[in-house]
Structures are given as structure tokens and as C-alpha cells.
Amino acid sequence: MKPAQFAYARAKDLPHALALWAEAGEDAQILAGGQSLIAGLGLRLADTPALIDINHVPDLAGVTESGDRIRIGAMTRHAELARNPLVAEHAPAIAEAAPLIAHPAIQARGTIGGSLAYADPAAEFPACVVALDAELVVQGQGGERRIPAADFFLGLYETALEPFELLTAIEIPKAGRRRQTVQELVRRHGDYAIVGIVLAADVQGDTLGAAKVVYFGVGDAPVVAEGAARALEQGDVSAALKALNDDLDPPGDLTGGPETKRHLARVILQRAINALRAQ
């Protein structure tokens, strides 16, 4: 389908972007990589009067190091995240997730900010930032605020971003000795996951200290499996697998019914544990 008519404006810098947005109204959308937005326009899912292009705003892309954190600009592309050495060293889950997203053409355009703001429940990055205790930096007319990743994803394509608020960066604590892994089940390379998991922990013998178990594709947002995490901290894998019965309540979709999703979630947890231990 062809999109309905919309206006387009290219922002020079951040204040300009915010000003353009205020002028165009709440329903106008920020254009980042366009890999979800443009497809949505073609589907005529929403009435979008205008796009504000932030691809030319300086300083929104790139990865920097500051103290015990790394800072990823919202406009950093998936392809860059897959090859950036700072990311590989300090947030390996992000580096591992990036090549799993779609295909090279989409990785070359798509941005982490767009992925998080779009908040697809089967997407990789939202679960990663939750598992890695990231903080999302957002900028509105009133200035900057920081939102813990755990509080950012509210539901299906729904985030804590207020109207006219732009996501500018993601700050992630350095992994240090913590190990991270991303596992997912997809029918075809690059598809959204049927079930995926991000597991981060301090591996000491059998125990997985301060374990973070975050699923994607099993709810309307990233799902934190608290019970499983507590059991892993005790080094009790079978208790963790059992805990998933309470931790997860996956809705069925075209890829499988709730029981299938639960079954696959157990399989993938076991695989993630194995992967973490093998690192």
C-alpha cells in the first residue's frame, strides 16, 4: 500500500527537532532508521501527519565510555552495535543481539533508539536493556530525564515516553565479570523470535549470582522471570525451570499456543545457562 500524505521535516539539532515536533503536533513521529515506521505508514495503521527526521542531528549516534558505564547514542545503527569494540567488551549481549535482528539492509538503517521506542514485545534490544539494568536518557521540552529500563516498557508498543519526548541515549553499566548471553528461537534467520531470552549473571561455580532472566516474545513487553532468577542464584536449575510456570504467562500467537511457548521458554533457559557456563 501507499502511505497517506504526510509532511516531512529534517531536524538540524536536538532543540530544532523538539521545536519541529511541537509545531507538527503530538501525532507527528520521529523518523530514525524508518525500518518499523515506514512499513507502518505503508500499512496505514496510524494517521501520521508529519515525520521529523533526526538522522542528521549531530551527536545522537555512537558509543562512548564514561566511568563504569557505556553510553550508546539513540541513533546508533544495529550494524554498528554488532561490530563496536566497546559494546563487545562491556555489553556483549547487545553485540550478540544485533546480528539476530532482521537482515543486513535493515541492520544498516535500524537504530537502537528506534527499536526501544517502538517496543515490539518480540524484539531483542528491549529485553537486553532490561537485563543489563540500563538507564534510558530522554529529552523533552522541559529538559532531560532518566528512566530505568525496567520501568520503560509498559505494554504492547507502549513506553514511558511522554508526548514530545525523544530518546537520546542508553547508558549501560559495564559488564565487568558478569556474563551475558542472548538466545532465541526463530523459524528463519532474522525473524522476530518465537521465544527469546537474555540471561546475565555473575557465574560462580553452580550459582548464577544476581541473575537477570528476561524473556522476549512471551508477553506484551519484556518479561522478567524473577522466580527463575532467584532459583538460579541458588544454583538450582530444575527449580528455575519450574519457576517459569509462575513467571511466564505467554499468550498464544501464530507461532504457537501458550503451552508451546512455555515449553520453548524452558528449553531456551537451559540453553542459555549452558551458554553462560561455557563462556
Partner 1 sequence: MTIDLNQVDRPNSYIGKTVPRPNARKLVEGRGQYVDDVHLPRTVHVAYLRSPYAHARINGINADAAKAIPGVLRVFTGHDLKDVCTPWVATLDHLKGMKSAPQHALAVDRAMWVGEPVAAVVAESRAVAEDGAAALEVDFEPLPVVADMETALDPETPVLHEELGDNLTFTRTHESGDLADAFASAAHVVEETFHTGRHTGVCLEPRSILADFNRSENQLTLYAATQAPHMIQSSFAKHLDLPEGKVRVICGDVGGSYGIKVHIYPDEMATAAISRVMGRPVKFIADRLESFTADIHARDHRVKARMAVDSNGKITALEIDDLTGIGPYSVYPRTSAIEGNQVVNLCGGPYDLASYKATTTVVMQNKAPMCQYRAVGHPIACAVTEGMVDLAAEALGMDPVELRRRNLVPDDAYPYTAASGMKFEGLSHHASLDKLLETMGYDDLRREQQALRDKGVYRGIGIASFIELTNPSPFMYGIGGARISAQDGATVRMDPDGSLVVLSGVTEQGQGTEGMLAQVVAESVGVPMETVKVITGDTQTTPYGGGTWASRGAGIGGAAAFRAGRALRDNIIQVAAAMLQSTPDALDIIDGAIKDRATGEERMPLAELGRIVYFRGDTLPKDLDREMVATRHYITSDYPFAFTNGIQASLVEVDVETGFVKLLKHWCVEDCGRVINPQLVDEQIRGGIVQGLGGALYEECVYSEEGQLENANMADYLVPMASEMPDMVIGHVETPTQESELGAKGAGEAGTAGAPAAVMNAINDAIRPFGGRVTRMPFTPERVLAVLGKVPDPDGR
Ligand X SMILES: Cc1cc2nc3c(=O)[nH]c(=O)nc-3n(C[C@H](O)[C@H](O)[C@H](O)COP(=O)(O)OP(=O)(O)OC[C@H]3O[C@@H](n4cnc5c(N)ncnc54)[C@H](O)[C@@H]3O)c2cc1C
Give contact residues for ligand X (rule: CB under 6 A).
29-37, 39, 74, 101-102, 106, 110-111, 113-115, 117-118, 120, 123-125, 161, 166-167, 190-192
192 interacts with partner 1 by CB under 8 A: yes
Nearer to partner 1, 115 or 255 (CB): 255
104 interacts with partner 1 by CB under 8 A: no
How far, in Å, CA of 120 to CA of 205, rounded? Answer: 35
Q: What's the closest the beta carbon of residue 246 comes to partner 1, in angstroms? A: 19
How far, in Å, CA of 134 to CA of 150, rounded? Answer: 8
How far, in Å, CA of 243 to CA of 39, rounded? Answer: 38
CA angle 239, 244, 246 (to 5 degrees): 105
**Residue 44 interacting entry, from ligand X, partner 1, none, C-beta within 5 to 8 Å by type:** partner 1
Q: What's the closest the beta carbon of residue 90 comes to partner 1, in angstroms? A: 30
Nearest to 116 by CA among 30, 181, 212: 30
Which stretch in 20-28, 106-114, 158-166, 254-262 sits in contact with partner 1 by CB under 8 A? 254-262
Could you give the C-alpha distances from 167 to 31, 114, 247, 254, 278, in angstroms and in order? 12, 9, 29, 31, 35
Q: Do the beta carbons of residue 248 and residue 180 sit within 8 Å?
A: no
| Ranges within 22-51 binding partner 1 (CB under 8 A) | 43-44
Q: What φ, ψ does residue 255 adopt, rounded to 5°?
A: -90, -15
Which stretch in 52-60, 71-79, 84-92, 190-198 sits in contact with partner 1 by CB under 8 A? 190-198
Could you give the C-alpha distances from 103 to 73, 97, 100, 109, in angstroms and in order? 21, 12, 8, 10
**Residue 257 interacting entry, from ligand X, partner 1, none, C-beta within 5 to 8 Å by type:** partner 1
**Residue 36 interacting entry, from partner 1, ligand X, none, C-beta within 5 to 8 Å by type:** ligand X
Q: What's the closest the beta carbon of residue 126 comes to ligand X, in angstroms? A: 8
263 interacts with partner 1 by CB under 8 A: yes
Q: What's the closest the beta carbon of residue 173 comes to ligand X, in angstroms? A: 21
How far, in Å, CA of 94 to CA of 52, rounded? Answer: 27
Q: Which residues of this chain interact with partner 1, rule CB under 8 A?
A: 1-5, 43-44, 185, 187-192, 194, 254-257, 259-260, 263-264, 267
